[in-house]
Chains A and B, each alone.
Chain A
Amino acid sequence: AQSVTQLDSQVPVFEEAPVELRCNYSSSVSVYLFWYVQYPNQGLQLLLKYLSGSTLVKGINGFEAEFNKSQTSFHLRKPSVHISDTAEYFCAVSPRDDKIIFGKGTRLHILP
C-alpha cells in the first residue's frame, strides 16, 4: 500500500523569504508524484508533477520539487514567496495507473 506524509501541518514564512514544504511517501512500486495547491474556497490545482526522468521538476508560480528516491521524498520549494502563495498544499502519490493518494496538506501562511 502507498502512503504520503506531509511533515508540517502549517508553515509560516515571511514574504520574499524561501520556503520548503516537506513530503515523504512510501510505496513498494514505482509511483508518480504530484503537488497540488488549494487556494481558499477553491478546488485543487496541479502545481507540478514527477512522472520520470529529471529529478528536479519545475511547476507553475515559481515552485519546484526534487524527487529523492533513496529518501523517498518529494519536497516542494520556492526561493521567494509572495502573499498570493497563501494556500494549502497537498503532496500526492499515484502508483502507475492506480488511484491518487493525497497527504493531509500543509497550510502556508505568508507573513507581511
Chain B
Amino acid sequence: ETGVTQSPTHLIKTRGQQVTLRCSSQSGHNTVSWYQQALGQGPQFIFQYYREEENGRGNFPPRFSGLQFPNYSSELNVNALELDDSALYLCASEPGQGHHTGELFFGEGSRLTVL
C-alpha cells in the first residue's frame, strides 16, 4: 500500500509567477484535501476534492485552484504568487467518500518559497 506522495518537495518562485503542486493519494482513497501550513502555524484548509469536483473550500482567494483526476491524484495551482504564499503545502487523502472524517493521511508536503 503506497502512501500519499507529493512533488516537488521544494521550490522557489518569484512574486507574480504561477505554481503547480502535485499529489498522489493513498491507495484506495478517493478524497483529497489541500492545506497550507505557514511557518509556526497549524495547517489551514484550502479545499477538498471528491470525484473530480471541489467539495468544500476554506478562506482562500480564487487564485488558489485545484484539480482531481480519475485516478484520484490531484493538483494545487496558485496564480499571481504573493510573498505570503510562502508555506508548506500539504496534501491529505481519506477514504471518506466525500465526507470530512478528520482521519487524514498526509504527504510530506511541498515547501514553496516566494521571493
Interface bits B47-63 vs A (CB < 8 Å: 1, else 0): 01000000010100000
Q: Are A43 and B90 in contact (CB under 8 A)?
A: yes
How near does chain B come to A46, taking the closest CB pair, in angstroms? Answer: 6
Q: Which B residues are in CB contact (< 8 Å) with A43?
A: 4, 90, 92, 106-109
- Could you say which of A12-20, A56-64, A67-75, A89-97 contacts chain B? A89-97
- Count contacts on B: residues with CB < 8 A to the other chain: 24
Q: Are B103 and A49 in contact (CB under 8 A)?
A: yes
Chain B CB within 8 A of A104 CB: yes
- Count contacts on A: residues with CB < 8 A to the other chain: 23
B96: nearest chain-A partner, CB-CB: A97
**CB under 8 Å from chain A, chain B span 21-57:** 33, 40-45, 48, 56
Q: Are B42 and A99 in contact (CB under 8 A)?
A: no
Q: Are B43 and A90 in contact (CB under 8 A)?
A: yes
Q: Are A94 and B108 in contact (CB under 8 A)?
A: no
Top 7 A-B pairs, shortest CB-CB distance:
A102-B42, A43-B106, A94-B102, A44-B106, A99-B45, A43-B108, A100-B102
List A residues at the B interface (Cβ < 8 Å).
4, 32, 34, 36, 41-46, 49, 90, 92, 94, 97-105
List B residues at the A interface (Cβ < 8 Å).
4, 33, 40-45, 48, 56, 58, 90, 92, 99-109
Can you name 16 extra interface pairs (CB under 8 A) apart from A43-B4, A99-B58, A105-B40?
Answer: A4-B42, A43-B92, A44-B90, A46-B104, A90-B43, A92-B42, A92-B102, A94-B100, A94-B102, A97-B100, A98-B100, A99-B45, A100-B45, A100-B104, A103-B42, A104-B41
